[in-house]
Amino acid sequence: MSPIFVLAFGGLLGGLISRNVVPDIAERRQRFWVRTGIVLFFCLSILLTLYTSPALLVTILNLLYYVGVQLVPGTLAIFFMHGIRAVGVSAGLIVGTVLALVLYYGHVDTFGINVGLISGVLNVTVMVAVSGIARRGHTPLPATAWCRSPPAQPRPVLAEEPS
C-alpha cells in the first residue's frame, strides 16, 4: 500500500511544478504537460521495476516518501498554527530533507523508527524556532525591509525650457 501512496504523490507533483515553474502557459497546455509528465513518470516506474534491480525502485520510492513527508509539517502549520513564517517553513523543509537524506544514505540505525518521522520532528522544531526568531524582528532575510519601505512616488514631469 505504501508504494501506491508514494507513486500517487509523485504523480501529483506534476501539477505543483507546472503551476509554479511555468505559470505563463495556457491552462490547456499546462494540463497536457502535467498528464504527459505523470504518464512518463509511471512508465519509468514500470520499466525500472521490470528491467532493473527491484532495489533501485525501492530506493526511489523511499526517497520520494521521506522527502514528501517533509511537506506535511509546513502545510499543516500554515493552516493551523498562528505566527509561522515562510522563512521558518522553508528552513524546516530544508533541514528535514537534508536529515532524511543523511540518515538514509548514511545507513544510520534508527532503532526501527521511520527516517521520515525523525526528520519530520526536526523539521517542526526548526520551523517553530526560526519562525519565533523571525517574529521578534531578527529575520535573516532582507526582504522585510522592502515591505516596510514607502511606495515609490512618480517623478514630476518638468516642462522643457525653450532653447
- Going 62 to 129 to 81 to 146, the CA torsion angle's sign is negative
Which strand (E) or helix (H) includes residue 83?
none
Per-residue pLDDT of the chain (163 residues; tens, 9 = 90+): 556 666 676 666 666 666 666 667 787 887 787 788 778 877 877 787 788 777 777 787 788 788 888 888 888 888 888 888 888 888 999 999 999 999 988 989 989 898 889 999 999 999 999 988 887 765 444 444 445 545 556 666 666 656 5
Which strand (E) or helix (H) includes residue 138?
none
pTM over 0.85: no
Q: Angle at which helices 27-51 and 54-69 pack, to 10 degrees?
A: 140
Within 8 A by CB and 6+ apart from 32, the residues are none
How far is it, in rounded angstroms, from Cα 149 to Cα 141?
A: 15
How far is it, in rounded angstroms, from Cα 23 to Cα 30?
A: 8
C-alpha cell at 66: 521521506
How far is it, in rounded angstroms, from Cα 55 to Cα 162?
A: 82
Would you give the end-to-end CA distance of the chain in angstroms?
A: 83
- Going 93 to 82 to 113 to 71, the CA torsion angle's sign is negative
pLDDT, tens only, 60-92: 778 878 888 888 888 888 888 888 888 888 899
How far is it, in rounded angstroms, from Cα 125 to Cα 120?
A: 9
